[in-house]
């Protein structure tokens, strides 16, 4: 089946550190993990892509090996209006926090990167974007992020038993 490559999003948000081919230990695993988290961040901001649009991790050959980037692809060249509208309005997060996410990987010096489990990354994003006690969101954009994350990843977290604890009341 033919797959039309429509838009390359990159390997991670543009303003964030990410795995470096030839430098990051266990590069392939870290690169793939960041791609998965980046896809979730794009979904948090925009919602899931409508059919026939899909995400794809596509390999890029380099002298040191292959690195992977996230793409929007389609099996058809002519998109239906809803898919074209989603693609035209696509907002690619430039940082993890702009999508309500904790960094999925922490790089400290020349040591091994600290990779947070994917379910923990999603649970962290749901915590960051959660509503206040009165049901309102701050900032208001967190409502969209939280709703999109719940819709797309809530069932995965429930199946794994990784629920998100609601905000605890404060006071005395």
pLDDT (tens, 9 = 90+) of the chain, 172 residues, equals 578 999 999 999 999 999 999 889 999 999 999 999 999 999 999 999 999 999 999 999 888 889 999 999 999 999 999 999 999 999 999 999 999 999 999 998 767 899 999 999 999 999 999 999 999 999 999 999 999 999 999 888 888 775 544 333 333 3
Find residue 71's DSSP bridge partners.
8, 56
Residue 130 is encoded by which pair of tokens?
């959660």
Q: What's the pLDDT at 157?
A: 84
pLDDT in the model for residue 91: 98
d(CA 7, CA 70): 9
Peptide bond into 119 cis (omega under 30): no
Find out whether 60 and 31 touch, Cβ atoms under 8 Å.
no
* Residue whose structure tokens are 């629920």: 163
Cα-to-chain-centroid distance, residue 92: 10
């Amino acid at each position: 089946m033919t797959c039309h490559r429509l838009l390359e999003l990159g390997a991670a948000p543009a303003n964030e550190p990410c795995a470096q081919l030839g430098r990051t230990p266990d590069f392939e695993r870290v690169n793939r993990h960041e791609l998965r988290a980046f896809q979730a961040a794009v979904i948090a901001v925009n919602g899931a892509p409508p059919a026939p649009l899909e995400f794809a991790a596509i390999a890029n050959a380099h002298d040191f090996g292959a690195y992977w980037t996230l793409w929007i692809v389609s099996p058809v060249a002519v998109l239906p209006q809803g898919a074209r509208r989603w693609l035209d309005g696509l907002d690619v997060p430039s940082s993890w926090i702009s999508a309500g996410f904790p960094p999925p990987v922490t790089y400290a010096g020349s040591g091994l990167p600290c990779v947070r489990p994917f379910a923990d990354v999603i649970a962290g994003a749901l915590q960051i974007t959660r509503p206040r006690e009165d049901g309102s969101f701050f900032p208001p954009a967190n409502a969209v992020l939280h709703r999109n994350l719940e819709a797309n990843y809530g069932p995965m977290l429930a199946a794994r038993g990784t629920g998100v604890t609601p905000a605890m009341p404060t006071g005395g």
